[in-house]
Amino acid sequence: MYSYAYDFSAFQVHRHTFIPQIPSALASVNTAKLALHTEDYPIAEGLNALFPTLLKSGMKYFEHQVSESGEQVQCSRPLRLGCVLSGGQAAGGHNVIMGLYDMAKKLHPDSQLFGFLAGPHGVYTGNY
């Protein structure tokens, strides 16, 4: 029985060799500090009026800080991260998901990344 699963074109073979560049903010994830902040996210003046329901008080956010001592990033406990895209085609979406996954595993090897199926609908239906 012949399987087409591994019968790649020359272009597909070329694509499999591609390794995307890591953004400079994440390139030093092994020698950087990552802090979770629970205070208000610093929002540029005028954006609250444009996005009244998106930017709320007390929104948690991560801040990437470069360590002077070069100590390795480690979290004391595994992270449980969720990622939701629009539900349709998302150019570069796979790269974003793989970047989140790779970073979470570097911060703690037992970290988990959950994806929500069908975009935002998957969030409120628990479809992940």
pLDDT in tens, 71-114: 655 677 888 888 988 877 778 888 888 888 988 888 788 999 99
In this structure, is residue 12 part of a structural domain? no
The reported pLDDT for the residue numbered 99 is 86
Residues 61 and 98 in one domain: no
Same domain, residue pair 94 and 107: yes
Tens of pLDDT, residues 17-58 = 877 776 676 665 554 556 666 667 677 778 777 877 766 666
pLDDT at 10 over 60: yes
Domain membership of residue 6 (yes or no) is no
Q: pTM, whole model, 2 decimals? A: 0.51
Question: Which two three-digit tokens encode residue 9?
Answer: 């074109």
90 with 123, same domain: the answer is yes
The pLDDT of residue 110 is 93
Identify the pLDDT of residue 117: 87
By C-alpha distance, which of 111, 93, 103 is closest to 23?
103
Domain shared by 55 and 89, yes or no? no
Output the CA torsion sign for 55, 32, 105, 107: negative
Q: Which domain covers residue 124, as residue numbers?
A: 77-128
